[in-house]
Amino acid sequence: MVARIIPVDPFDLVIFGASGDLARRKILPGLFRRLIAGQMPPNARIIGSARSKWDDDAFRKEVSNAIKEFSPKEYKNTEKLNEFLKTLHYLPVDVLGDTGWKELAALIKKDANPVRAFYLSVGPSLFDDIAERLTKSGIATKDSRIVVEKPFGHDLETAHQLNEQLRRNFKEHQIYRIDHYLGKETVQNLMALRFANALLEPVWNAQHVDHVQISVSETIGIEGRGGYYDNSGAMRDMVQNHLMQLLCLTAMEPPARFEANDVRDEKLKVIRSLDPVEPDDIVRGQYRANGKAGSYKDDAENPDSRTESFIAMKVHISNWRWTGVPFYLRTGKKLRARMSEIAVIFKDPPHSIFPNAEIRHGGNSLVIRLQPDEGITMHMIIKEPGQGGLRLTEVPLDMSFADALKGAPLDIADAYERLLMDVIRGDQTLFMRGDEVEAAWAWVDPIIEAWQHAGDTPEPYDAGGSGPDGSLALMHREDRRWRPIEV
């Protein structure tokens, strides 16, 4: 199997916040890898901008160091690295001031590059100023694209404000709201798996599916992001965006075409079909110290914090396809392993013709792994090989993408790389539309308000464990089990 690389059109990409962490860790190394892959056209230009008083040379040095740190294998390709560094330019701009914009306009306008994109790798409080100044200074045209990062709002009201601010200067088709989970190979494969095979669709419904588990588990804590995280928690930081997107792609109806608005219309319908969640169907957790691992409260430097670093919840979708099928969502920090997966657990056969053979509930499941080792596993029940009566056993039919793509000349593009190239191509399929984001907040807000109203305190769980006991009980009370948090 050979990965096909289609170069994108020439572009000018301006990165606001080019001196920041996201640009250093993800955006710039990702663009470099696309250049190595042959996807970046030779006349593409990347213009970094921030308040730091750098020039082109200083920026190139910074980017070279960032690539060395975050993409060490590719860094060794000196010829390509030099080629990439030549595409880089830098202009110091304080986006809250009026200086620097004329220079930026002049730099961009020198070329007649057809694609003009602005990546706002800065805090959301700066989006409005940047959008406005880009338009006023004539830098943004009606075909330009603007890319914004999460968090997209803190609640429905703030998300709505951000949408309004962006839409004052850009049309919806120009706005690319990134949720990097949507750029993962497996997430797109979920759509291919569901809609390019006739096999699964007939069983992808309440008649055949017992329940669905969506887990995103991290081993890291809040890692210096305490100030932001303690004001957000797992519900805002993970459920409202990443888990919601995974839920939508798993549950949505087949869109008429694999095109941005068709896909996003179907996702929106799922969000609007979500029932309000019963308080008994949610477990909030907060990690406590365990051995050398410190507690959440220590990490957040807030001894009174009531912010959740873990959430498990049972969610219902009221529509023809899914009524009666629980979707269990689970995410947390400082857990036993780093893994993300969607598991569709099918119902047991209606009648067993093997009265003496023990069949475990949920023996048939389809597990879509997002990380680590992206891939898909179908669990089947077969006869245990050998003599001594008919015994049944569960076997995995496993497909790891790394194995499936062995021999391909290039690694699979990571989520950021793919999304960056989609921006240049003008393909919004894997980006969130404004109404989707607002609908997700409209569902999440009452849940958070109810906790605040009740003064809810999260249940402690050991750092390095599998989450609070209440999360296990959420499943056990319905005779179900979480899939283990393990790699």
Catalytic center residues: 242
55 touches ligand NAP (CB under 6 A):
no
SS3 of 295, please? coil
233 touches ligand NAP (CB under 6 A):
no
Residues between 68 and 127 with contacts to ligand NAP, criterion CB under 6 A: 93-96, 121-124, 126
User: Nearest 5°: phi and psi at 71?
Assistant: -145, 60
Question: Which residue lies nearer to ligand NAP by CB, 123 or 372?
Answer: 123
Nearest alpha-carbon partner for 380 in 395, 367, 392: 395
- For the bound state, the minimum distance from the C-beta of residue 19 to ligand NAP, rounded and expressed in Å, comes to 4
Among 8, 11, 14, 19, binds ligand NAP (CB under 6 A): 19
Q: What is the DSSP string of 386-447?
A: SSSS--EEEEEEEEEHHHHTTT-SSPPPPHHHHHHHHHHHT--TTSB-HHHHHHHHHHHHHH
Within 10 Å of residue 107's Cβ, how many Cβ atoms?
18
d(CA 229, CA 377): 33
Verify cis geometry, omega within 30 degrees of 0, for the bond prior to 355.
no
User: Nearest 5°: phi and psi at 67?
Assistant: -65, -40
Nearest alpha-carbon partner for 34 in 146, 26, 15: 26
- For the bound state, the minimum distance from the C-beta of residue 487 to ligand NAP, rounded and expressed in Å, comes to 22
Among 10, 20, 426, 470, binds ligand NAP (CB under 6 A): 20
- For the bound state, the minimum distance from the C-beta of residue 222 to ligand NAP, rounded and expressed in Å, comes to 13
Q: Name the residue type at position 270.
A: V
Binding mask 139-158 for ligand NAP (x = CB under 6 A): ----------xxx-------
Sheet of 115-120: strands edge to edge? 88-92, 45-50, 11-16, 115-120, 145-148, 175-177
* C-beta nearest to ligand NAP: residue: 20
301 touches ligand NAP (CB under 6 A):
no
Residues between 398 and 417 with contacts to ligand NAP, criterion CB under 6 A: none
Among 14, 50, 107, 134, binds ligand NAP (CB under 6 A): 50
d(CA 239, CA 216): 9
Question: Which residue lies nearer to ligand NAP by CB, 53 or 292?
Answer: 53
Question: Which residue lies nearer to ligand NAP by CB, 59 or 461?
Answer: 59
- For the bound state, the minimum distance from the C-beta of residue 237 to ligand NAP, rounded and expressed in Å, comes to 10
Question: Which residue lies nearer to ligand NAP by CB, 230 or 462?
Answer: 230
- For the bound state, the minimum distance from the C-beta of residue 197 to ligand NAP, rounded and expressed in Å, comes to 33
17 touches ligand NAP (CB under 6 A):
yes
Question: Which residue lies nearer to ligand NAP by CB, 23 or 115?
Answer: 23
22 touches ligand NAP (CB under 6 A):
yes
- 3-state SS of 168-187 is HHCCHHHEEECCHHHHCHHH
Torsion angle defined by CA atoms of residues 145, 150, 152 and 155, in that order, rounded to the nearest 10 degrees: 170
Binding site for ligand NAP (CB under 6 A): 17-23, 25, 50-52, 93-96, 121-124, 126, 149-151
